[in-house]
């Protein structure tokens, strides 16, 4: 390629022949044919590409197929070169030859040097423009991340508060039950109960503890029967005792056995001892379940945040999805049915676990929003190509129009009302999946169904 080849191109109007010669010397001519890949979406823009002859299709992967988003069809149209002004600059689309042609490919570093030498003021303007755009985007991302973190923290506080409050209430009730238990033992001793009678009384307690719980619909009737029977035996506070005994499936025959063991004079003490013992057991089980739930949530948070773990690690994507569901549990309370369809033989992959959890959070949160908190959330995983995995997060919301699908991954594009979203969620997810992991993220949507499909390779590419 010679400087004369560029002279007729409007892009280079104002450059001298010597400057055009410098530009040609700094770059190289690249010929291409139909279907030939020139540069790839998401890859670092190490080169500045200027069309000299032919046509180049610009494609972005937004659904199951690559979408044509533009075409370089006139000499002077250009792409890339962003690393001349910002180190993180990437190609915004994939360039593929639409037919035979040729381009001038100039390294971004050379473009920067030539710009600084020829148009120092223009170079400053370009850097300022890029810097401002990056600052605005970074600030918006930070605000969105903080807002998301705030919502997660509030949700987790609510999730942990429920079992913690239940455990605290159970501890208080357990103390009262233990006091009644000890007091009833004193009363039984005052009635002169023998060791044989106490063993028989304990047998009656064990019998109740081993019985299955009665049907819920029968509890009220059973309580009424027990209240009437216990009052005939001279028991007090039957409105407190009967519900516990009914929930343990006590009946009139059991009450007859109790009277036969301790006599009518010690019925109250015997009932207090048995009921307090049953209450203590139930309260201890409630405390154990509450603390188990708290421990489960703490474990999920540690897994979700990837504390004390390497950034890049070998992982099972299903573990990250499950920890995300636990962290978002406050949003899955009523109306949302979670269906898991984890396939057999899903391999472990090398990935940035913490970043993938951010992807799952964005996709699940968007699915819940789309369903307005009521519908079916389906989570699917299956083996992908070459040792990779495919994850699908589907919802039964109204679906997305095709014009929304086409723009869903654009930064700052959102269909949510003002104050409800920043339009960064899917953009962040795409960057993590495509740029960090070398995978693909796709949308398949129709009326009543939207599927977000994430394809991840066995390991991220090396840059």
Tell me which residue of 408, 387, 398, 422 sits closest to 453, measured CA to CA.
408
Q: Which residue has the tokens 């999946």?
A: 433
Distance CA 281, CA 319 (A): 34
* Angle subtended by helix axes 267-305 and 238-247, to nearest 10: 60
CA angle 328-332-335, nearest 5°?
165
Q: Are strands 375-383 and 336-342 parallel, antiparallel or unpaired?
A: parallel
DSSP state for residue 301 in the 8-state scheme: H
Q: Please count the residues of the chain.
A: 463
Q: What is the 3-state secondary structure (H, E, C) of 57-96?
A: EEEEECCCCEEEEEEECCCCCEEECHHHCCCCCECCCEEE
Identify the pLDDT of residue 137. 54
Asked if 249 and 213 count as a contact pair (C-beta separation under 8 A), the reply is yes
Which domains can be identified in the chain, with CATH numbers?
4-118 (2.60.120.10), 157-296 (no CATH), 309-456 (3.30.565.10)
Tokens of 159: 């999730």
Distance CA 47, CA 52 (A): 15
- Residues of the chain by 3-state class (helix, strand, coil), percent to 5: 55, 20, 25
Asked if 246 and 215 count as a contact pair (C-beta separation under 8 A), the reply is no
Identify the pLDDT of residue 463. 44
Identify the pLDDT of residue 388. 93
Q: How far is CA 174 from CA 169, 171, 237, 280, in A?
A: 9, 5, 19, 6
Identify the pLDDT of residue 101. 95
Distance CA 210, CA 70 (A): 73
The three-state secondary structure class of 137 is helix
Distance CA 279, CA 171 (A): 12
Identify the pLDDT of residue 358. 82
Distance CA 320, CA 252 (A): 53
- CB count in 10 Å sphere of residue 133: 12
Identify the pLDDT of residue 128. 61
463 residues of the chain, pLDDT tens digit each: 788 888 888 888 888 889 899 999 999 999 999 999 999 887 888 898 999 999 999 887 754 456 777 788 899 998 888 777 777 677 878 899 999 999 999 998 898 888 888 877 665 566 665 565 555 555 555 565 555 556 666 666 767 777 788 888 888 888 888 888 899 889 888 988 899 999 999 999 898 888 887 776 567 788 888 888 888 888 888 888 888 888 888 888 988 898 888 888 888 999 999 999 988 888 888 888 888 877 777 766 666 655 455 567 888 999 889 888 887 877 777 788 999 999 889 999 998 887 888 888 889 988 988 898 789 999 999 999 889 999 999 999 998 888 888 878 776 566 655 444 434 578 888 888 888 888 999 999 998 999 999 999 998 886 4
Identify the pLDDT of residue 37. 93
Residues with Cβ within 8 Å of residue 64, at least 6 apart in sequence: 442, 444
b/e per residue 289-328 (b: at least 16 CB within 10 A): ebeebbeebeebbebbebeeeeeeeebbbbebbbbbbbbb
**Beta bridge pairs of residue 57:** 71, 96
CA 288 to chain centre: 28
Tokens of 163: 């079992």
CA 325 to chain centre: 6
pLDDT tens-digit readout, 213-255? 777 656 778 888 888 888 888 888 888 888 888 888 888 898 8
CA 62 to chain centre: 21
Asked if 218 and 206 count as a contact pair (C-beta separation under 8 A), the reply is no
- The number of helix segments (H) and strand segments (E) in the chain equals 13, 15
Tokens of 332: 């899955």
b/e per residue 367-384 (b: at least 16 CB within 10 A): bbbbbeeebbbbbbbeeb
């Amino acid at each position: 390629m010679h400087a004369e080849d560029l002279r007729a191109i409007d892009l280079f109007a104002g450059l001298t022949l010597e400057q055009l010669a410098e530009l040609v010397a700094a770059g190289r001519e690249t010929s291409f044919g139909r279907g030939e890949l020139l540069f790839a979406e998401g890859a670092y823009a190490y080169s500045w590409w200027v069309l000299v002859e032919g046509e180049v299709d610009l494609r972005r992967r937004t659904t199951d197929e690559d979408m044509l988003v533009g075409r370089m069809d006139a000499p002077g149209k250009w792409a890339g070169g962003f690393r001349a002004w910002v180190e993180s600059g990437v190609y915004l689309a994939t360039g593929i030859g639409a037919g035979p042609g040729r381009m001038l490919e100039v390294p971004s570093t050379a473009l920067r040097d030539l710009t600084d030498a020829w148009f120092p003021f223009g170079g400053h303007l370009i850097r300022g423009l890029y810097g401002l755009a990056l600052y605005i985007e970074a600030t918006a991302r930070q605000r969105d991340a903080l807002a998301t973190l705030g919502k997660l923290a509030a949700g987790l506080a609510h999730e942990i508060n429920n079992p913690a409050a239940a455990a605290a209430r159970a501890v208080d009730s357990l103390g009262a039950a233990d006091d009644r238990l000890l007091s009833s033992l004193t009363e039984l001793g005052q009635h002169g109960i023998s060791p044989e009678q106490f063993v028989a009384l304990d047998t009656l307690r064990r019998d109740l503890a081993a019985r299955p719980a009665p049907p819920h619909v029968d509890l009220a009737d059973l309580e009424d029967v027990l209240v009437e029977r216990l009052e005939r035996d001279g028991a007090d506070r039957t409105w407190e005792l009967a519900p516990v005994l009914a929930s343990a499936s006590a009946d009139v025959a059991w009450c007859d056995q109790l009277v036969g063991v301790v006599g009518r004079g010690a019925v109250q003490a015997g009932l207090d001892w048995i009921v307090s013992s049953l209450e203590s057991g139930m309260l201890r089980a409630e405390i154990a379940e509450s603390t188990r739930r708290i421990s489960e949530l703490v474990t999920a948070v540690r897994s979700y945040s990837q504390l004390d773990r390497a950034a890049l690690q070998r992982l099972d994507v299903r573990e990250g999805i499950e920890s995300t569901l636990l962290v978002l549990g406050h949003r899955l309370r009523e109306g949302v049915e979670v269906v898991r369809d984890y396939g057999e033989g899903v391999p472990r992959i090398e990935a940035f676990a913490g970043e993938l959890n951010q992807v799952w959070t964005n996709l699940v949160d968007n699915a819940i929003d789309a369903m307005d908190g009521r519908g079916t959330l389906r989570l699917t995983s299956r083996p992908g190509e070459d040792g990779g995995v495919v994850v699908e997060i589907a919802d039964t919301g109204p679906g997305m129009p095709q014009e929304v699908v086409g723009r869903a991954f654009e930064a700052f594009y959102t269909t949510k009302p003002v104050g409800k979203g920043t339009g960064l969620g899917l953009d962040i997810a795409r960057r993590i999946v495509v740029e960090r992991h070398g995978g693909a993220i796709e949308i398949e949507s129709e009326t009543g169904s939207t599927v977000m499909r994430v394809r991840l390779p066995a390991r991220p590419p090396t840059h």
